[in-house]
Each structure stands twice: as structure tokens, then as C-alpha cells.
Amino acid sequence: DAGVIQSPRHEVTEMGQEVTLRCKPISGHDYLFWYRQTMMRGLELLIYFNNNVPIDDSGMPEDRFSAKMPNASFSTLKIQPSEPRDSAVYFCASSFVRGANEQYFGPGTRLTVT
Amino acid sequence: SQQGEEDPQALSIQEGENATMNCSYKTSINNLQWYRQNSGRGLVHLILIRSNEREKHSGRLRVTLDTSKKSSSLLITASRAADTASYFCATAPGGGADGLTFGKGTHLIIQP
């Protein structure tokens, strides 16, 4: 299996622009998680899905952030409009059975908002 | 908010020595996991220990869990240069929720 796939790997955008991050989980995994990593705050859970349904979005920082999972093999995290404080590495992870077990992380998308 | 807090924040040892990292957490847990992150890469799962377990081994890794003290330790024996990475503990809360809460990590450097 190719593992969790994320695109793009790097994204540089200007403040106010829309940013869309993409994730393809491991086939057969029922859970998908979006995390954000910064030096100041470490790794934070933003939102997670079970069987394509959002279960907990309490970590989404603001209404500027939205996430969708239209099918079992694809998820997006959108920021509109982007701000410099959104600069971070965004990780997607997937898990099978129960999510509170081993999670498989993608390589991350490094987002820089200028 | 950060549930787990690793200690130390950074650790530098000689190749072949053992490395010990500690993690403390605040609330009840279902399990505790350790992950490794190499520079510029995603996290890789190392080991999971459930709340009713006290010790677990996997290769050169040994994890202990003390739920009364809300703490865990990760021991890497006979360290290698390839073990240089950041190590994170992550807690899965009790009650069946699925999201993990990560600490800020210990950056381990193995000197050749």
C-alpha cells in the first residue's frame, strides 16, 4: 500500500487566498484525521471523520477552516481566507477499526501564508 | 490543549547508550501511544500500551505506564544514529473518543 497520500507537499500563498489541502487515506481505513503542527502549539487535532462523516470538529480554529470527505478515499481541508497565523504543517492520518488505536500519518503539507 | 508533556525536551547521547523519555498526562486514558517523527516527515507509530497494562516491549523499545501517576516512559536501548528523531507521546481519552492528544515531543540526538 502507498500509505496516506497528501498533496501538495508545500504550499506558499498570500494572505486572503483560498487554500485547499488534499488527503487520500489508506484503503480500508474507516477513520481520517486532520492535524496541524506548529512550534508554538505542537500537534493539534483539527477534525476527524468516521465512515466519511465528521465526528468531532471542535479543534477547527475558526469558521475560515472547513473539511469534507466526499468518499472513502478522499478528504479536503480548506482555509478561506488564509492568514499568516495559519502557517503550519498539516497532517492527515488514517486508522482502521477504532481511531484511538494506531494511526498512519501522511508526509504532511507545509503551508506558508505571507 | 496539550494532554501529554514529554520530558526532557531535548536529549543528546552517544551511540550505543540507552535513551529514556518521559511523558505525563492529565486525564483518564484508554491507551497511550508513542510516535517517532524524523525531520520533515510524518509521524510513525512505535508502540501502544493500554490503560490496564504496565509494561510493553517491542524490539529495542520498552514502554511503561503508571496510571496512578499519570505517566509513561519510553526506553530505547542500544541507540543508533538512525534513532535521531523527535518522539511524541499521544493519549487516547477514556470514554471511547477517537482523537489523539499529543505532547510537544522530545528531540533525541544520537551522536555517532
- What's the whole-number mean pLDDT along residues A88-98? 89
Write the pLDDT tens digit of every residue in B23-42.
999 988 888 999 999 998 99
Closest-approach residue (CA) in chain A for B36: A105
CA A92 to CA A76: how far, in whole Å?
10
Q: What is the pLDDT of residue B93?
A: 76
Q: What is the pLDDT of residue B92?
A: 83
Residue-averaged pLDDT of chain B: 91
Going by their DSSP bridges, the two strands A53-56 and A31-38 should be labelled as: unpaired
Between these two residues, A34 and B29, which has the higher pLDDT value? A34
Please count the other Cβ atoms lying within 10 Å of the Cβ belonging to residue B54: 10
- What's the whole-number mean pLDDT along residues B60-75? 97
pLDDT at position A104 over 90? yes
Q: What is the pLDDT of residue B94?
A: 66
- Which amino acid makes up residue B85? A
Write the pLDDT tens digit of every residue in A62-82.
899 999 999 999 999 999 999
Which position has the grid cell 499519570? Answer: B70
Name the percent of chain B lying above pLDDT 90.
Answer: 73
Q: What is the pLDDT of residue A48?
A: 93
Q: What is the pLDDT of residue B2?
A: 43
Chain B contacts to A (CB-CB under 8 A): 2, 30-31, 33, 35, 41-45, 48, 88, 92-93, 96-105
- What's the whole-number mean pLDDT along residues A49-67? 93
pLDDT range class, residue B1, cuts 50, 70, 90? very low
Name the percent of chain A lying above pLDDT 70.
Answer: 96
Provide, as residue numbers in chain A, all residues whose Cβ is less than 8 Å from the Cβ of B88. Answer: 43
Q: What is the pLDDT of residue B98?
A: 73
Chain A contacts to B (CB-CB under 8 A): 4, 31, 33, 35, 41-45, 48, 50, 55-56, 59, 91, 93, 95, 98-108
- Which amino acid makes up residue A76? T
Answer yes or no: are the C-beta atoms of B53 and B65 closer than 8 Å: yes
CA end-to-end distance (rounded Å), chain B: 36
Q: What is the pLDDT of residue A101?
A: 78
- What's the whole-number mean pLDDT along residues A80-91? 97
Answer yes or no: are the C-beta atoms of B31 and B49 closer than 8 Å: yes
Q: What is the pLDDT of residue A89?
A: 98
Going by their DSSP bridges, the two strands A19-24 and A53-56 should be labelled as: unpaired
- What's the whole-number mean pLDDT along residues A8-22? 98
- What's the whole-number mean pLDDT along residues B54-70? 97
| Residue A106 exposed, middle or buried by CB count within 10 Å (0-12, 13-18, 19+) | buried
Q: Name which of A38-47, A77-86, B40-49, B90-99 the model is least confident about.
A: B90-99
Q: What is the pLDDT of residue B7?
A: 82
Provide, as residue numbers in chain A, all residues whose Cβ is less than 8 Å from the Cβ of B2. Answer: 41-42
CB contact under 8 A, B98 and A100: yes
